Amino acid sequence: NAGVTQTPKFRILKIGQSMTLQCTQDMNHNYMYWYRQDPGMGLKLIYYSVGAGITDKGEVPNGYNVSRSTTEDFPLRLELAAPSQTSVYFCASSGTGLGLNEQFFGPGTRLTVL
């Protein structure tokens, strides 16, 4: 049981490039989330999904897109990378019922945009 896995661990992009951050969970969780973490700012929600085919915006969605074609996968897409997107990105998942309120986090992707 791997939990939540993210790839890549590190990435350097040039301004204007695009990339997809991968997230997979093997706990059969319906709910998945993408956060970004900036120093001294805590974690901010980018997008979330309550099930396959259903996604919605969080606090800071601009510059990002997501899709959820399967229960397991929730990729985050950056179309035109900007220096403001330099951050650490975390994917998380949670189950239903009372389990909805505990999120399990992946190890993170550290992204630098130059």
- By CB under 8 A, is residue 44 in contact with other proteins? yes
If one asks whether residue 63 binds other proteins (CB under 8 A), the answer comes out as no
Give every CB contact of residue 26 below 8 A, 6+ residues apart in sequence.
1, 2, 3, 72
Please tell me the distance from the alpha carbon of residue 112 to that of residue 51, in angstroms, as a whole number.
30
Cβ nearer to other proteins, comparing 17 with 88? 88
User: Using CB under 8 A, which of 13, 46, 48, 76 touches other proteins?
Assistant: 48
- CA-to-CA dists, residue 78 to 71, 82, 85, angstroms: 21, 9, 9
Q: Is 19 in the site for other proteins (CB under 8 A)?
A: no
Residues that bind other proteins in the complex, under the rule CB under 8 A: 4, 31, 33, 35, 40-45, 48, 50, 56, 58, 90, 92, 94, 98, 100-103, 105-108
